[in-house]
């Protein structure tokens, strides 16, 4: 990037950067839990339901992000209760919900001939189209989710270590797990706009995985994940701007490069 | 806590049915302060299930479970499946036992269990014996009236097993807490136990180790393994303990 380009940052680029960094900051701590608790597929399932939320938004004439949040919350609730059944393995259930929700979303949108949406933008994100209201969703919704996560931090870590042990020690496990799922659903919904439903999980897990080697405690891993997430957003935006590549995937590629590079840094163990 | 012989936990006629399978049938037992009760039985006998009922993690289909009011339980689970990506030191792991514990408390309890050298180590780097001692330390940090231990010597070599059972006995003596534990092992555990429950969905037999080991039900279950009578005084003769396993 030339000096002039840095100095004369376009409005849309600034909003993209702000939105991307907001999402990366929220994704860091949540991503750490997704990695520790092996919830990657779970995040994917929630993200896949977003199109259904978009359809709902059009149908009810409400804000599309709100529509996505509602559908993600409903799905999280459904997943929460379906966890109690033991007939099917967890990943089979998630697979059914993920692909069922995605296809149902596409089919529903096809039934709405007046609605023309840029499917690619929903699948892979459209960070350059972020408006002020999107920024508000990211910072209020995401910020709220983050504050709630900090409030649940200690009991959530206890559950992550050993659920039964936490229960015996007086942690209200079921309630906290339910709240956590709702928060993840909210996070996924606000992240959708930036990287798209197919790539949401990558921004949760790749920075967290990169942070692992340098972290000595859970908090450090969460903070480093924020940092690596922000670096990926900045790098991806720069690359996208420079080489006219799609922005969402560019951010993910930047995150992957950081992950690979992290292995070149020696870490004392 | 002053009544040394008080009943900490009492299960009466517990039935448990899950998905059409009867897992526990008419199980009754009690643990009192200062008493070590060990549940033995073959794989699939419902030993861990019984502990989970005792801990109120599972609700029995029928029967009653009594916990003494304000009972504090220290629980040591069978395994800790920590994801390798979870950065957690021993000190931090212990801090979840209850709020308000400081580094001095961690060091004291780790000294008691003989694992104070690992206080700064990562949980994932512990050996089998160290892990069991750290798990036991977390249970002890709660100042429990009752210790519930699920296979406390798992992943520990025979020499370490003898030491761990001695440690559990010592903790009972010093803290006068009750101990309810599950064990796979027959001989080593007998030396460290006041009462044995022999479980195979129902309680086949129960009583002092001497009574149980001569019970026909027990002999039927364990055959030739059961013929050994453990000699309490020979703690370090682990060769003798292990030869017929």
Alpha helices in chain A (DSSP H): 3-7, 11-36, 40-48, 50-60, 64-82, 90-110, 119-124, 132-136, 143-151, 153-161, 163-168, 173-195, 200-212, 218-243, 247-262
- Collect all residues of chain A within an 8 Å Cβ-Cβ radius of residue B93: 161
> Is B96 in Cβ contact with A154 (below 8 Å)?
yes
Please name the residues in contact with B20: beta carbons below 8 A apart, sequence gap of 6 or more.
Answer: none
CB contact under 8 A, A216 and B92: no
Residue B192 and residue A248: Cα distance in Å, rounded? 62
Averaged over A241-246, what is the pLDDT? 90
pLDDT exceeds 90 at position A184: yes
* Residue B238, pLDDT above cutoff 80: no
Chain A partners within 8 Å of B52 (Cβ): 164
Nearest-by-Cβ selection for B92 from A164, A217, A221: A217
Four-residue CA torsion sign, B175, B178, B182, B188 = positive
Q: Do A164 and B75 touch (CB under 8 A)?
A: yes
Domain boundaries along the sequence of chain B: 1-72+146-245, 81-143
Nearest to A193 by CA among A16, A31, A6: A16
The strand order across the sheet containing B195-200 reads B73-76, B146-150, B178-182, B36-40, B195-200, B202-207
CA distance A264 to A262: 5
CATH of B1-72+146-245, one of 3.40.50.300, 3.40.50.2000, 3.90.1150.10, 2.170.190.11: 3.40.50.300
Tell me the whole-structure pTM to 2 decimals. 0.86
Q: CA A186 → CA A38, A68, A73, B202, distances in Å?
A: 18, 9, 7, 48
Which range among B1-15, B58-72, B102-116, B160-174 shows the weakest confidence by mean pLDDT? B1-15
CA B101 to chain centre: 24
CA dist B213 and B226 (Å) reads: 6
**Residue B225: per-residue pLDDT:** 55
Across chain A, mean pLDDT equals: 89
Do the beta carbons of residue B29 and residue B179 sit within 8 Å? no
Helix (H, G, I), strand (E, B) or coil at A72: helix
> Which contiguous run of DSSP H or E holds residue B51?
helix B47-54
> How much is the pLDDT for A267?
78
- Tell me the shortest Cα–Cα distance from A146 to chain B, in angstroms: 20
Query: With an 8 Å Cβ cutoff, is B143 touching chain A?
Result: no
Nearest by CB to B85, from A35, A161, A164: name it.
Answer: A35
Closest CB to B75: pick one of A36, A165, A215: A165
Q: Which residues of A touch B (CB under 8 A)?
A: 35-38, 86, 154, 157-158, 160-162, 164-169, 208-209, 212, 215-218, 220-221
Distances (CA, A) of A113 to A62, A104, A108, A121: 18, 16, 10, 18
pLDDT of residue A21: 94
Range in A89-93, A121-125, A243-247 the model is least confident about: A89-93
Verify whether the Cβ–Cβ distance B86 to A36 is below 8 Å.
Answer: yes
Phi-psi region of A170 (alpha: psi -120 to 50; beta: other; left: phi over 0): left
Tokens of A97: 């919900």
pLDDT at A233: 95
Q: Which of A154, A164, A212 sits opposite B85 (nearest CB)?
A: A212
Give the integer Cα–Cα distance in Å for A252 and B32: 59
> B98 at the A interface (CB within 8 A)?
yes
Answer yes or no: are the C-beta atoms of A203 and A226 closer than 8 Å: no
CA distance A171 to chain B (A): 10
Q: What is the pLDDT of residue A83?
A: 75
CA distance A129 to A9: 15
Model pLDDT for residues A188-209, shown as the tens digit of each residue? 998 888 888 888 999 999 999 9
To the nearest whole Å, the CA of B80 is away from the closest chain A CA by 7
> DSSP string of B163-203?
HHHHHHHHHHHHH--EEEEE-S-SHHHHHT-SEEEEEESEE
Query: CB distance from B131 to chain A under 8 Å?
Result: no
- Of B1 and B156, the structure prediction assigns the larger pLDDT to B156
Does the pLDDT value for residue B120 go beyond 60?
Answer: yes
Q: Does B120 touch chain A (CB under 8 A)?
A: no
Say whether B87 and A162 touch across the interface (CB within 8 A): no
pLDDT of residue B244: 33
ipTM of this predicted structure: 0.85
pLDDT > 70: percent of chain A: 95
Q: Which chain B residues are closer than 8 Å to A212 by Cβ?
A: 85, 87
Does residue B97 belong to the interface with chain A, where contact is any CB pair within 8 Å? Answer: yes
- Say if the Cβ atoms of A167 and B57 lie within 8 Å: yes
Read off the pLDDT of each residue in B2-12 and give the average, rounded to a whole number: 76
Find out whether A183 and A149 touch, Cβ atoms under 8 Å.
yes
pLDDT, tens digit (0-9, with 9 covering 90-100), for A39-74: 888 899 999 998 899 888 888 888 888 899 999 999
Contact (CB<8Å) B77/A164: yes
Nearest CA in chain B to A33: B86
Cross-chain Cβ contact A158/B52 below 8 Å: no
Per the CB < 8 A criterion, the answer to whether B190 and B166 are in contact is: no
Of B11, B12, B25, B14, nearest in space to B148 by CA: B11
Give me the count of residues in chain A. Answer: 269
Task: Tell me the mean pLDDT in the region A234-252.
Answer: 92
Nearest-CA residue of chain B relative to A164?
B57
Nearest to B180 by CA among B1, B10, B2, B4: B10
Scan residues 186-205 of B and list those with Cβ closer than 8 Å to A: none
> Is the pLDDT confidence value at A174 over 60?
yes
Helices (H), B80-225: 90-95, 103-113, 128-141, 158-175, 187-191, 209-213, 216-222
As separate numbers, helices (DSSP H) first and strands (DSSP E) second, chain B gives 9, 9
Q: How far is A226 from chain B (nearest CA, A)?
A: 16
A267 contact residues in B (CB cutoff 8 A)? none
For chain A, the first-to-last Cα distance in angstroms comes to 38
The pLDDT assigned to A6 comes to 54
For B34, residues 6+ apart whose C-beta sits below 8 A from its C-beta are: B4, B5, B172, B176, B177, B178
Work out the end-to-end distance of chain B between its first and last CA atoms, rounded to an integer number of angstroms. Answer: 40
Candidates A168, A172, A219, A221: best to mutate against B (most CBs of B within 10 A) is A168
Q: Encoding tokens for residue A151?
A: 């409030």
Nearest CA in chain A to B141: A169
Is there a contact between A35 and B98 if contact means CB atoms under 8 Å apart?
no
Distance (Å, whole) CA B134 – CA B123: 9
């Amino acid at each position: 990037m030339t000096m002039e380009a840095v100095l004369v940052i376009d409005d849309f680029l600034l909003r993209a950067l702000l939105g991307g960094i907001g999402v990366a900051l929220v994704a860091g701590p949540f991503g750490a839990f997704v990695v520790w608790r092996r919830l990657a597929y779970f995040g994917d399932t929630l993200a896949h339901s977003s199109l259904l939320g978009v359809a709902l938004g059009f149908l009810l004439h409400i804000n599309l992000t709100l529509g996505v949040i509602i559908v993600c919350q409903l799905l999280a609730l459904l997943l929460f209760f379906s966890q109690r059944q033991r007939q099917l393995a967890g990943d089979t259930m998630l697979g059914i919900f993920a692909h069922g929700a995605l296809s149902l979303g596409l089919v529903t949108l096809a039934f709405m001939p007046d609605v023309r949406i840029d499917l690619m933008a929903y699948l892979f994100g459209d960070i350059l189209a972020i408006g002020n209201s999107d920024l508000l969703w990211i910072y209020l919704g995401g910020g709220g989710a983050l504050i709630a996560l900090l409030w649940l931090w200690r009991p959530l870590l206890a559950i992550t270590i050993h659920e039964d042990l936490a229960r015996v020690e007086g942690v209200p496990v079921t309630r906290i797990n339910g709240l956590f799922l709702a928060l993840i659903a909210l996070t996924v919904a606000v992240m959708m706009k930036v990287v798209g439903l197919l790539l949401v999980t990558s921004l949760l897990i790749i920075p967290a995985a990169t942070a692992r080697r340098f972290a000595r405690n859970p908090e450090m891993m969460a903070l480093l994940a924020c940092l690596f997430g922000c670096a990926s957003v900045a790098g991806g935006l720069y690359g996208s701007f420079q080489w006219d590549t799609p922005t969402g995937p560019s951010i993910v590629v930047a995150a992957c490069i950081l992950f690979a590079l992290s292995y070149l840094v020696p870490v004392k163990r | 806590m002053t009544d040394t012989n008080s009943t900490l936990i009492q299960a009466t006629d517990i039935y448990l049915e899950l998905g059409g399978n009867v897992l526990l049938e008419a199980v009754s037992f009690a643990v009192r302060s200062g008493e070590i009760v060990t549940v033995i039985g073959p794989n699939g006998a419902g030993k861990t299930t019984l502990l989970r009922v005792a801990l109120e993690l599972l609700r029995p289909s029928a029967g009653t479970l009594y916990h003494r009011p304000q009972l504090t339980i220290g629980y040591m689970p069978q395994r800790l499946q920590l994801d390798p990506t979870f950065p957690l030191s021993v000190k931090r792991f212990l801090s979840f036992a209850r709020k308000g514990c400081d580094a001095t408390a961690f060091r004291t309890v780790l000294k008691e269990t003989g694992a104070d050298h690992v206080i700064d180590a990562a949980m994932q780097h512990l050996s089998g014996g160290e892990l069991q001692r750290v798990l036991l330390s977390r249970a002890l940090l709660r100042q429990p009236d009752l210790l519930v231990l699920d296979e406390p010597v798992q992943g520990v070599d025979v020499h370490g097993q003898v030491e761990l059972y001695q440690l559990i006995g010592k903790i009972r003596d010093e803290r006068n807490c009750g101990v309810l534990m599950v064990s796979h092992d027959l001989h080593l555990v007998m030396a460290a136990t006041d009462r044995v429950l022999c479980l195979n969905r129902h309680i086949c037999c129960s009583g002092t180790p001497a009574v149980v080991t001569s019970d026909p039900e027990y002999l039927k279950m364990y055959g030739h393994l059961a013929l050994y009578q453990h000699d309490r005084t020979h703690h370090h003769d682990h060769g003798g303990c292990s030869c017929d396993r």
